């Protein structure tokens, strides 16, 4: 019996002879009995207790000084191993036994849908609507719902191997899942990456269940069904089922329909190149009309076929990319002509939102676009009217955006006709030239300086090791920023960017206005920007859509709204999946300053600087409506990298009023000189300006008048000239003695052009004379040519 703790030692009853050492079972020198329990507790006992390495029992009375069991080394070792065994049992149970039981239960409960069952759920008609709810057109499945199901013997080895190379090289040997692929998918899930380890069997299950969410539950069920499918069916049956149901684009489900839709032949007739092209489309069928992406995927698949010894290196070297037949030949009842490019942009946008083309098609969704039918018809009519009789090699694009919503009102990326390269020029990156100068001004205004600041606008001027010139060496020795914008004085804007605000400030201003960091295909807009960003040259490239959206930010008083093509998406029965027309969706955010008034000021000051440009260029809007804009021209660069003083390659006009912002581009797309039907050089105020004005006047004719909001000027206010010539008055010269020309140019190689090459424009309008490394690559969509190949080599390694 243990003595009550807390009773003084001298007050306890005497120990019996059976206790402790007297009974032969004894205690030890530490005062513990043979059972390891303390029969009393003194300060000396406590000291010895702690010296022995034991703790007090936290559940004991009297401060926790209750007797505590002492374990021998052997007992402690046994306890430690017992804990290890229990942990191992728990580990095995949690990670092996329970999953095995769950796998077995899931295996018994799930079924694998047949290809016929899957086909019944696919290929529904998708309807597109204009912004007012009127039907724009329908996307009808390529087979019209009458799909041809192939039998295993009809699927050639050529087709199989191309699909294996693209999607699952171990298909013939795996059990429906790939352990390394699963590990890779799990890692991507944990690290926020994309891409998984789905086998062909798993992909078939995903298509069959129409479940493409990124989750462990989906992957688990997918894995079990894939395993069951591989247990119950042969590899021939599985690959045939897969190829009868997978989506390729153009409304084509199944390899037979796809072969007819893209190449006008049966699947059995496909060669290696054609099979590789179709196999490459499986990963992103929504980009099946993006020939650049299709060609890139084709190259990958062909290389994988060589690596797996399904074709020889000699066959690979002699292979050429098989150009698909025109889409309208495959789907004569689909949206065609220029409007087909709208459909392409809509599909890309929906895919980015988590609604890939096959999901939209299988659900028979209704797509409500932002396109205004009257604006779209006006755009097409304006292009046909202005460009009629002009050289056939000229390409053009027109994009109009609603400043109040960011929705695209009109979109013309090209005629999209047979015999003309099917490139959507509204979504191709080009050098914007002087139309990029408003972003230089934004950066200056953000620094607190205004349109009245004076700079040395003489020409030529030296910046580091570079020489910069104005058009015909136009002289403006004491040039206000307002005058420099109106006359597009290159040397002033180089001065502002290199010596005043810095390159990064201009990059930030452009991004804030809505210029995206890349074009959605990982091609950056301002990679490695240098001083040439001042005039929209060098590596500064944008699309007409980008420019329309960014200028819409100026039109909206500094409120930036994302440019988009889809206003609403619903299911076939009207359930709204997302809606971009709600007040929350169109609210936008301040672009240039978090201070509301300052943000409006900056945008308003930019607008004030751009209004006189239209007057000088004779592009003012009809009925004296408030409009503002900027022209831009970019020089032609010959194959040897020399800039031509007598040729231009790109011409822009971008402008707006409070109701619409419109961007127009004219060029060849191949870095060739551009001239009009009369043989004259094309500047921004020429064909692009004429096209812009024709569209704007026609569209605004039926719109109520709207005026730009008046704002306070920022910084120094420009003094109106007293004479018509460009020479500042003596009063102006006296009050603006301080300019930036006395500052040393920065030494940073990032901001200072390095070439000493000079060039001189030959006409009154500005030509943007770059001073960076010669041989500017042509930024595709170039469908081909040496420049395109050089760009690809530079960007891919």
Assess whether 228 and 323 both reside in one domain: yes
Assess whether 499 and 593 both reside in one domain: yes
pLDDT single digits (tens) 270-303: 999 999 999 999 988 888 888 889 999 999 999 9
Least reliable range by pLDDT among 168-177, 185-194, 457-466, 576-585: 185-194
| Rounded mean pLDDT, 424-442 | 96
- Please report, for residues 481, 719, 729, 749, the alpha-carbon distance to residue 452 in angstroms, rounded to integers and kept in the order given: 6, 7, 14, 30
Least reliable range by pLDDT among 119-133, 219-233, 487-501: 219-233
pLDDT higher than 80, residue 742: no
pLDDT higher than 70, residue 467: yes
| Rounded mean pLDDT, 91-120 | 66
Assess whether 124 and 217 both reside in one domain: yes
Assess whether 298 and 416 both reside in one domain: no
DSSP class of residue 457 equals -
Q: Residue 211: its pLDDT value, please?
A: 58
DSSP class of residue 22 equals G
Q: Residue 796: its pLDDT value, please?
A: 34
176 is a domain residue: yes
For residue 615, name the pLDDT band (cuts at 50, 70, 90). Answer: very high
| Rounded mean pLDDT, 498-511 | 96
Name the more confident of 718 and 352.
Answer: 352
Q: Residue 263: its pLDDT value, please?
A: 94
The listed range with the strongest mean pLDDT (88-97, 497-506, 725-734, 742-751) is 497-506
* Cβ-contact 607, 706 below 8 angstroms: no
Name the more confident of 459 and 579.
Answer: 579
| Rounded mean pLDDT, 192-205 | 65
For residue 489, name the pLDDT band (cuts at 50, 70, 90). Answer: very high
pLDDT higher than 60, residue 13: no
- Please report, for residues 422, 460, 572, 790, the alpha-carbon distance to residue 431 in angstroms, rounded to integers and kept in the order given: 21, 23, 42, 17
Assess whether 614 and 484 both reside in one domain: yes
* Cβ-contact 556, 404 below 8 angstroms: yes
Please state, in angstroms and rounded to a whole number, the distance separating the CA atoms of residues 669 and 533: 20
Question: What positions carry a catalytic annotation?
Answer: 167, 434
Q: Residue 141: its pLDDT value, please?
A: 73
pLDDT higher than 70, residue 384: yes
For residue 741, name the pLDDT band (cuts at 50, 70, 90). Answer: very low
Assess whether 637 and 502 both reside in one domain: yes
For residue 52, name the pLDDT band (cuts at 50, 70, 90). Answer: low
Least reliable range by pLDDT among 343-347, 583-587, 629-633, 643-647: 643-647
Which of 695, 718, 735 is where one domain is finished? 735
Please state, in angstroms and rounded to a whole number, the distance separating the CA atoms of residues 337 and 312: 40
| Rounded mean pLDDT, 314-328 | 91
What total number of domains does the chain contain? Answer: 2
755 is a domain residue: no
Please state, in angstroms and rounded to a whole number, the distance separating the CA atoms of residues 523 and 507: 16
**What is the rounded end-to-end Cα distance, in angstroms, of the chain?**
85
pLDDT higher than 60, residue 94: yes
19 is a domain residue: no
Phi, psi of 467 (to 5 degrees): -115, 130
Q: Residue 32: its pLDDT value, please?
A: 47
Task: Give the burial class of 715: count Cβ atoms within 10 A of its Cβ; 0-12 exposed, 13-18 middle, 19 or more buried.
Answer: middle
pLDDT higher than 70, residue 333: no
Tell me, what CATH number does 450's domain have?
A: 3.40.710.10
Q: Could you tell me which residues come within 8 angstroms of residue 381 by beta carbon, excluding any fewer than 6 positions away?
A: 698
380 is a domain residue: no
Which of 363, 390, 418 is where one domain is finished? 363
Please state, in angstroms and rounded to a whole number, the distance separating the CA atoms of residues 205 and 43: 74
CA angle 685, 689, 694 (to 5 degrees): 150
Q: Could you tell me which residues come within 8 angstroms of residue 463 by beta carbon, excluding any fewer than 6 positions away?
A: 494, 495, 498, 531, 745, 752, 753, 771
- Please report, for residues 442, 511, 555, the alpha-carbon distance to residue 600 in angstroms, rounded to integers and kept in the order given: 12, 17, 10
Name the more confident of 222 and 206.
Answer: 206
Which of 735, 751, 766 is where one domain is finished? 735
DSSP 243-270: HHH-EEETTEESHHHHHHHHHSS-GGG-
Give, for 651, the enclosing helix (H) or strand (E): strand 643-657
Name the more confident of 90 and 655.
Answer: 655
Assess whether 326 and 408 both reside in one domain: no
Assess whether 162 and 224 both reside in one domain: yes
Query: Which percentage of the chain shows pLDDT scores above 90?
Result: 50
Name the more confident of 616 and 213.
Answer: 616
87 is a domain residue: no
Least reliable range by pLDDT among 423-432, 466-475, 652-661, 685-694: 466-475
Name the more confident of 220 and 526.
Answer: 526
Q: Residue 347: its pLDDT value, please?
A: 93
Tell me, what CATH number does 299's domain have?
A: 1.10.3810.10
DSSP 69-105: ----HHHHHHHHHHHHHHHHHHHHIIIIIHHHHHHHH
| Rounded mean pLDDT, 630-656 | 85
Q: Residue 351: its pLDDT value, please?
A: 92
Assess whether 205 and 313 both reside in one domain: yes
Q: Residue 96: its pLDDT value, please?
A: 67
Q: Residue 486: its pLDDT value, please?
A: 95
Name the more confident of 110 and 304.
Answer: 304
Assess whether 649 and 549 both reside in one domain: yes
Query: Could you list the residue range(s) of the whole structural domain that residue 250 is in?
Result: 115-363
109 is a domain residue: no
Q: Which residues pair with 566 in a beta bridge?
A: 369
pLDDT higher than 60, residue 749: no
758 is a domain residue: no
pLDDT single digits (tens) 129-152: 999 999 998 887 766 555 678 899
Least reliable range by pLDDT among 328-332, 444-448, 460-464, 482-486: 328-332
| Rounded mean pLDDT, 474-487 | 93
Please state, in angstroms and rounded to a whole number, the distance separating the CA atoms of residues 232 and 238: 10
For residue 407, name the pLDDT band (cuts at 50, 70, 90). Answer: very high
Task: Give the burial class of 237: count Cβ atoms within 10 A of its Cβ; 0-12 exposed, 13-18 middle, 19 or more buried.
Answer: middle
- Average pLDDT, whole number, for the chain? 79
For residue 792, name the pLDDT band (cuts at 50, 70, 90). Answer: very low
159 is a domain residue: yes
Assess whether 440 and 358 both reside in one domain: no
* Cβ-contact 745, 752 below 8 angstroms: yes
Q: Residue 48: its pLDDT value, please?
A: 61
| Rounded mean pLDDT, 169-185 | 68
Give, for 657, the enclosing helix (H) or strand (E): strand 643-657
Six token digits for residue 128: 């597109």
Assess whether 348 and 422 both reside in one domain: no
Six token digits for residue 230: 């591989």
């Amino acid at each position: 019996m243990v003595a009550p703790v807390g009773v003084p030692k001298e007050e306890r009853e005497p120990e019996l002879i059976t206790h402790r050492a007297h009974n032969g079972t004894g205690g030890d020198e530490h005062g513990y009995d043979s059972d390891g329990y303390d029969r009393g507790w003194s300060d000396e006992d406590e000291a010895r207790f702690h010296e022995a390495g034991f703790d007090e029992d936290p559940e004991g009375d009297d401060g926790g000084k209750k007797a505590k069991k002492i374990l021998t080394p052997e007992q402690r070792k046994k306890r430690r191993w017992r804990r290890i065994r229990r942990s191992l049992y728990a580990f095995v149970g949690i990670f092996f036994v329970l999953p095995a039981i769950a796998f077995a239960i899931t295996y018994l409960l799930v079924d694998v849908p047949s290809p016929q069952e899957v086909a019944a759920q696919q290929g529904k008609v998708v309807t597109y609507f204009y912004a007012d709810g009127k039907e724009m057109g329908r996307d009808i499945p390529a087979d019209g719902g009458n799909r041809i199901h192939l039998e295993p013997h009809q699927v050639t080895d050529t087709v199989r191997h191309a699909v294996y190379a693209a999607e699952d090289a171990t298909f013939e040997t795996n059990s429906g899942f790939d352990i390394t692929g699963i590990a890779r998918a799990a890692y991507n899930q944990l690290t926020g990456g994309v891409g998984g380890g789905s086998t062909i069997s798993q992909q078939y299950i995903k298509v069959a269940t129409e479940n493409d969410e990124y989750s462990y539950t989906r992957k688990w069920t997918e894995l079990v069904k894939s395993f069951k499918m591989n247990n119950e069916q042969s590899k021939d049956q599985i690959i045939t089922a897969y190829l009868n149901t997978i989506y390729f684009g153009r409304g084509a489900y199944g390899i037979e329909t796809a072969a007819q839709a893209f190449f006008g032949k049966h699947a059995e007739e496909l060669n290696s190149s054609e099979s590789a092209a179709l196999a490459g489309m499986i990963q992103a069928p929504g980009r099946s009309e993006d020939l650049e992406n299709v060609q890139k995927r084709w190259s990958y698949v062909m290389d994988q076929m060589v690596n797996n010894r399904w074709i020889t290196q000699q066959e690979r070297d002699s292979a050429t990319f098989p150009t698909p037949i025109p889409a309208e030949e495959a789907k004569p009842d689909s949206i065609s002509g220029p409007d087909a490019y709208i459909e392409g942009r809509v599909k890309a946008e929906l895919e980015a939102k988590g609604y890939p083309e096959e999901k939209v098609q299988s659900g028979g969704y209704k797509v409500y676009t932002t396109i205004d039918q009257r604006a779209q018809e006006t755009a097409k009519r304006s292009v046909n009217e202005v460009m009629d009789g002009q050289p056939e090699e000229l390409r053009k694009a027109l994009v109009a955006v609603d400043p109040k919503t960011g929705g695209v009102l009109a979109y013309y990326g090209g005629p999209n006709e047979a015999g003309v390269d099917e490139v959507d020029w509204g979504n191709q990156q080009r050098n914007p030239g002087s139309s990029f100068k408003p972003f230089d001004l934004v950066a200056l205004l953000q620094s607190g300086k205004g349109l009245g600041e004076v700079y040395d606008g003489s020409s030529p001027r030296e910046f580091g090791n570079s020489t910069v010139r104005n058009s015909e060496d136009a002289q403006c020795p004491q040039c206000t920023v307002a005058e420099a914008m109106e006359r597009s004085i290159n040397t002033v804007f180089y001065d502002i960017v290199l010596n005043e605000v810095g390159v990064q400030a201009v990059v930030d201003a452009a991004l804030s206005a809505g210029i995206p960091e890349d074009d959605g295909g990982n091609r950056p807009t301002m990679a490695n920007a240098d001083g040439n960003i001042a005039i929209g040259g060098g590596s500064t490239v944008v699309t007409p859509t980008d420019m329309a959206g960014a200028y819409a930010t100026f039109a909206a008083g500094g409120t930036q709204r994302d440019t988009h093509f889809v206003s609403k998406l619903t299911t076939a029965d009207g359930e709204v999946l997302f809606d971009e027309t709600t007040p929350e969706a169109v609210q936008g955010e301040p672009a240039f300053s978090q201070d509301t008034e300052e943000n409006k000021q900056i945008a308003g000051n930019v607008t004030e600087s751009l209004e006189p440009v239209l007057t000088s260029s004779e592009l003012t809007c009809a009925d004296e409506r408030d409009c503002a804009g900027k022209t831009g021209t970019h020089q032609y660069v010959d194959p040897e990298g020399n800039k031509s003083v007598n040729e231009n390659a790109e011409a822009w006009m971008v402008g707006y009023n409070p109701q619409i912002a419109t961007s127009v581009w004219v060029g060849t797309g191949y870095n060739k000189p551009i001239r009009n039907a009369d043989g004259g050089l094309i500047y921004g105020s020429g064909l692009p300006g004429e096209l812009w004005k024709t569209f704007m006047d026609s569209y605004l004719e039926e719109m109520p008048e709207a005026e730009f909001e008046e704002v306070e000027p920022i910084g120094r206010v420009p003094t109106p000239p007293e004479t018509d010539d460009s020479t500042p008055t003596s009063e102006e010269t006296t009050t603006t003695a301080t300019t930036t020309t006395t500052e040393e140019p920065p030494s940073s190689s990032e901001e200072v052009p390095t070439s000493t090459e000079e060039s001189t424009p030959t006409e009154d309008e500005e030509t943007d004379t770059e001073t960076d490394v010669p041989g500017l690559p042509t930024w595709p969509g170039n469908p081909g040519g040496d420049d395109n190949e050089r760009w690809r080599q530079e960007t891919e390694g």
